[in-house]
Amino acid sequence: MPAIDPVLSAHFADRQPSGIRIAGIRFEQRQTPAQALNTAIGNVSLPMHPAMQERMRELGREDSPFAGGVVRYTATAGLPEARETMLHVIASSGFDTSGLHAQITDGGSQAMELLIAGCCGPAGSSERPLMLIDAAYTNYTAFAQRLARPTMSITRELKDDGSFSLPALDQIEAAIKQHQPGALVVIPYDNPTGQLYTRETMLELARLCVAHGLWMISDEAYRELHYGDVDTVSIWGITEDDVPGITGRRISIETASKVFSACGLRIGGIVTDNQDLHTRAVAENTASLCPNHIGQWIFAALGAVPASELQEWYDQQRDYYRQMMLSFTADMSGRMPGLIVSRPEASLYSVIDVRKIAGEGFDALKFVLWCAEHGATELDGEAWTLLCAPMAGFYNTSPGQPNPGRTQMRIAFVETPDKMALVPRLFAELFTAYEAQR
């Protein structure tokens, strides 16, 4: 009998790397030598919080749970110490955590997937899609596709002055009425745009969630990374006095990756004021057994750090990123007149848009891949290239509609300040060379 080849699922057969990883993958396949500055992914290069570093160094001590070389499963919801620490971190920003339930996950990514599974999808005759605000972090769309959950979006506009603007509230509400989403994702310190949502914007969106029966999911990976003279914004700052009916629909996605510089630790979490959602999210995740035990134990060291000391840490992080982002914005704008650079308001990203200076038919994905595979410019006698993330995949535009991300790229401030200072020159020279040969 002849052999019959196995067949990939339609989902797998259609998969391509995400926009935040594709440049790095293509660079690994590069045939000509070059050094790369990788600003495509938010892989923070700073050391972790000192308390976490100390715990990491003590893994083999006699009083460590791993002293004997045994690493057991934890409860699916995570170590009690780690769950309490997650709430302690929220409280350190000045928010009331009474009545909140915390679940530890394998990074914020697993929290996203669990929430899409639990808050969206078929409910009676309605599909209940996930509602995103474009440009939206690519993993939400990827996980929704993996779970066969529909998405719908409203789209922000990147203006010539570098500001992002939401559609008017009546337009947002009209989209909600039309598509009947199950949940709205808000990223107050936005990835990918670097936009900071004001408290008033959060309240307005919360009122829409209450009025139309949506879960409100706030991705707070970058909470405390804001660079203006403003108070910290959070879903946990929205109370019943602000928005009657908000209680029981609030959810935050937490992570140690960004503010605490622990990307590879893969510690995230779901925090909610809804007991039923918490119970069922833990039940759903029993199939994954438990989060990383060692990572939980290292993260839980923050539980013993007073809130005042955590605030000092937040100040240090803000000062570090603020200076890099301001310098980058000024240098890029001065070096390339007509280039649009998003305002450095929050998180650790900037969006650059070449729509006013690129030639006809420019495609950011093609440019990014050219930089990864072929592009090079000389710095101190060595060939260098720049890796960044093309933005088309951050938009969920309908077929046949123009995609704003076609001329946009995201820059992550994850290299050291001296290396980030090279990015404007690298980008300008690579862009000029690419346009000349196109």
Beta strands in 73-150 (DSSP E): 101-106, 130-134
**CB-based burial of residue 53 (10 Å sphere; 0-12 exposed, 13-18 middle, 19+ buried)?**
middle
Write down the mean pLDDT value for the chain: 95
Residue count of the chain, please give it.
Answer: 438
Question: What is residue 124's predicted lDDT score, i.e. its pLDDT?
Answer: 56
pLDDT by residue (tens digit) across 238-259? 999 999 999 999 999 999 999 9
pLDDT digits (tens, 9 = 90+) for 16-58: 888 899 999 999 999 999 999 999 999 998 999 999 999 999 9
Longest dimension (CA), the chain: 74
Crossing angle of helices 423-437 and 307-335, rounded to 10°? 40
Q: What are the phi and psi torsion angles at 397 (to 5°)?
A: -75, 150
* β-pair partners for 255: 268
- In eight-state DSSP terms, residue 361 is T
Angle (nearest 5°) at CA 423 between 421 and 426: 130
Tell me the pLDDT tens digit for each residue of 60-102: 888 899 998 999 999 999 999 999 999 999 999 999 999 999 9
- The CA radius of gyration of the chain, in Å to the nearest whole number, is 22
CB-based contacts of 399, cutoff 8 Å, min separation 6: none
Contact 131, 323 (CB under 8 A): no
The pLDDT value recorded for residue 107 is 96
140-196 tens-digit pLDDT = 999 999 999 999 999 999 999 999 999 999 999 999 999 999 999 999 999 999 999
CA distance 62 to 356: 62
- List CB contacts of 161: < 8 A, sequence separation 6 or more: 343
How far apart CA 259 and CA 311 sit, in angstroms, is 11
Statement: residue 380 has pLDDT above 90: no
Q: How far apart are CA 172 and CA 64, in angstroms?
A: 51
Using N-to-C axis directions, what is the helix angle for 364-373 and 423-437, rounded to 10°? 100
Computed from CA positions of residues 48, 51, 57, 63, in that sequence, does the dihedral angle turn out positive or negative?
Answer: negative
pLDDT bucket at 360, cuts 50 / 70 / 90: very high
Determine the average pLDDT of the residues in 226-235: 95
Q: Are 162 and 340 in contact (CB under 8 A)?
A: yes
Question: Does the pLDDT at position 322 exceed 90?
Answer: yes
Please state the rounded mean pLDDT for residues 418-436.
96
Alpha-carbon gap, residue 347 to 188, rounded angstroms: 9
Which DSSP string corresponds to 281-329?
A: HHHHHGGG----HHHHHHHGGGGGS-HHHHHHHHHHHHHHHHHHHHHHH
| Dist. CA 277–CA 274, nearest whole Å | 5
Is the pTM here over 0.85, yes or no? Answer: yes
Residue 143's closest CA among 6, 260, 257, 253?
253
